[in-house]
Amino acid sequence: MPEGHTVHRLAGALTELFSGHRPTITSPQGRFSQGAAKLNGQIALSAEAWGKHFFMPFAPEPTEVTLGEDGPDWLHVHLGLYGSWSFDGDGEFIAVHTIGAPRRRIGEREQLSEGADERRVAEWEPPTPKDTVRVRFAQPHGIADLTGPNQCQVLSGSEVRAVLKRLGPDPLRNNPGDRERFISLVRKRKVPVGQLVMDQAVTAGPGNIYRADCLFRVGISPLRPGNRVSEHRLGLLWDDLVSAMSEGVRDGIILTNPPEYIPLDPIDEQDRRFAVYQRSGRACWRCGNTIAEMAMAGRRLFWCPGCQR
């Protein structure tokens, strides 16, 4: 499942490519036909993300809105395990800070779409949508296709607010008071902190990689109950989530292994990119103990028993 930084990057890309336009919106698959008809022809406004949830408002005329405001129709998408957006277009269809040249986004990776270099100089025509495409956004210079989402619906402002009410603070939004709210939510629970970091009602956005490596970076055992982690250490964890996930938004890739631990000749991607995630059975970069793995709430958990207390 894409982690929160990916959804924030998608919000940036779709804003750069479609906001201010009246995109043609269709549902080639047919499962979103009513929603597509409602949005089609309206002006796309700036998209936003909260954790792993994507929201894009549409209105008859240009306007500025805040997330969850009444008035616009809000496209709400949660990618889930299998959802992805793909982009295709000509040389003018470029979101410089988010997707670069025409790209296909799958999970945590971005790949140039086939023939992208040729299309930048040749006359571009939109590709025929696959029958798995739930939603297609189209403007004269490019398209964005959504496939396989867990949720895809049009919401009112009050319905958006109801979704947000179920979510914890998002480290990438880092609004005033979010750090204190995160600390309070964790310390109210006897559940292991490793499970709470993945609980979207406690903190919205982190997935398995950020959970594993940020807990390692601040030295907290994922097995320690939330109510037994000090406010100080939870504050450091929040700050590290903010920092690590912001780097993910900037770079488009998760690289959570501290620079001082990146080997000159890594065995594989896990050794280069991660501190403990998917490194079970290998030596901890910090203390030399063996990285452990177990299942927690149905997900694989990785940590160092030697230096996470």
- Per-residue pLDDT, averaged over 104-131, amounts to 59
60 counts as catalytic: no
pLDDT value, residue 110: 44
pLDDT exceeds cutoff 60 at 214: yes
Closest by CA to 138, choosing from 126, 154, 152, 155, is 126
Burial of 79 (0-12, 13-18, 19+ CB in 10 A): buried
Structural domains in the chain? 4-164 (3.20.190.10), 169-303 (1.10.8.50)
User: 3-state SS of the chain?
Assistant: CCCHHHHHHHHHHHHHHHCCCCCEEECCCCCCHHHHHHHCCCEECCCEEECCEEEEEEECCCCCCCCCCCCCEEEEEECCCCCEEEEEECCCCCECCCCECCEEEECCEEEECCCHHHHCCCCCCCCCCCCCEEEEEEECCEEEEEECCCEEEEECHHHHHHHHHCCCCCCCCCCCCHHHHHHHHHHCCCCEHHHHCCCCCCCCCCCHHHHHHHHHHHCCCCCCEHHHCCHHHHHHHHHHHHHHHHHHHHHCCCCCCCHHHCCCCCCCHHHHHCCCCCCCCCECCCCCCECEEEEECCEEEEECCCCCC
Residue 192 bridge partners (DSSP) = 225
- Per-residue pLDDT, averaged over 36-49, amounts to 98
Distance of CA 181 to the CA centre of its chain: 21
The phi, psi pair for 284, rounded to 5°, reads -65, 135
Read off the amino acid at residue 24.
Answer: T
In angstroms, rounded to a whole number, what is the distance separating the alpha carbons of residues 141 and 93? Answer: 6
151-192 residue pLDDT tens: 999 999 999 999 999 999 999 999 999 999 999 999 999 999
Distance of CA 222 to the CA centre of its chain: 22
Q: Which of 2, 23, 72, 102 is catalytic?
A: 2
In angstroms, rounded to a whole number, what is the distance separating the alpha carbons of residues 181 and 23? Answer: 38
Read off the amino acid at residue 13.
Answer: A
pLDDT value, residue 92: 84
Confidence class of residue 12 from pLDDT cuts 50, 70 and 90? Answer: very high
pLDDT value, residue 97: 54
Q: Which of 9, 28, 48, 52 is catalytic?
A: 52
Tell me how many degrees the CA angle 152-150-102 measures, rounded to the nearest 5. 75
22 counts as catalytic: no
Confidence class of residue 218 from pLDDT cuts 50, 70 and 90? Answer: very high
Helix pair angle (178-187, 231-251), 10° resolution: 120
Q: Do residues 309 and 219 lie in contact, with contact meaning Cβ atoms separated by under 8 Å? A: yes
pLDDT value, residue 122: 56
Mean pLDDT, rounded, of the chain = 91
**Tokens describing residue 189:** 């629970």
Q: Which of 22, 161, 189, 299 is catalytic?
A: 299
In angstroms, rounded to a whole number, what is the distance separating the alpha carbons of residues 88 and 101? Answer: 9
3 counts as catalytic: yes
Burial of 191 (0-12, 13-18, 19+ CB in 10 A): middle
Q: Do residues 72 and 45 lie in contact, with contact meaning Cβ atoms separated by under 8 Å? A: yes
